[in-house]
Amino acid sequence: MRNNPRLSISRRRFLASAAALSILAFHSSAMARSISGRLPWEPLAGAPPTPIDPLGWKFFTLEEAATIEAIVERFIPADDLSPGGKEAGCAVFIDRQLAGSYGEADRLYMQGPFRPGLPTQGYQGSLTPAGRYREGLKALNAYVRAHEGNKNFVQLSGEEQDKVLKGMEKGEIDLKLAGGLDTRAFFELVLQNTMEGFFADPVYGGNRDMVSWKMLGFPGARYDYRDFIDKHNQPYPLGPVGIVSGAADWTPKG
């Protein structure tokens, strides 16, 4: 059966017309927003983050908080480039994350079955991140008390703390963790979260006073860089801004 030539032509014309109309409609809409001199969105209009209160602890007990502060300080010791992890707020960042949806693994499937996975698959056990921290910090202090004259981790010297952390990293220390969590995986979890706290936007509690961004020369969440695009091999002259602290500077030009 042959196709009707007139029918084929009319279909082609119809499809072409429909496509052209959709393009014109999009173009007209975009042009209308452009010539109005306004952006099609406003800063923080969608889901603005709420700056955390840096005082107190929302998840950690006092012993846990002291332990995690000591750990982040050994991961990021203070030097002439930046303050240490504790002063930068890394422990506060971790505390607030564990007290929220991250700590409860809201975006992860946690119903089981729980079976050992490959190293590349990450943690496959039944503990949420909050549960891993609670189990890990408890086991760490129990291990230190058993091997260091009934001291806890905070009471060790910096060199002794480094020795324990290196043993955890290399798998030479077994904290006898529950919930399918091994010692090296717990070490890597705390290290990863410490780095996130050091480099994240200050609105989440870490990177206090944008210390890591200042150290790197990172401009932060500044919206408009058009005045500096053509200035090659020149230092960026403005300091960093955060998601919330920089909102007032997000003013379109031209």
Structure tokens at 62: 């006092």
CA distance readout (Å), 36 to 40, 46, 252: 10, 21, 12
| CA–CA separation, 236 and 225 (whole Å) | 10
The answer to whether the CB of 213 falls within 8 A of the CB of 174 is: no
Show pLDDT as tens, one digit a residue, over the chain (254 residues): 555 555 555 655 655 555 555 554 545 444 444 445 555 556 556 666 778 888 899 999 999 999 999 999 999 999 999 999 999 999 999 999 999 999 999 988 888 888 888 878 888 889 999 999 999 999 999 999 999 999 999 999 999 999 999 999 999 999 999 888 999 999 999 999 999 999 999 999 999 999 999 999 888 888 777 888 899 988 888 889 888 865 544 443 33
Work out the angle at residue 77's Cα, subtended by the Cα atoms of residues 58 and 133, and round it to the nearest 5 degrees: 35
Query: Token match 């043993």: residue?
Result: 167
Closest CA to 169 of 148, 151, 199, 194: 194
User: What is the three-state SS of 71-87?
Assistant: HHHHHCCCCCCCCCCCC
pTM, whole model, 2 decimals? 0.77
Beta-bridge partner residues of 220: 241
Amino acid residing at 236: Y
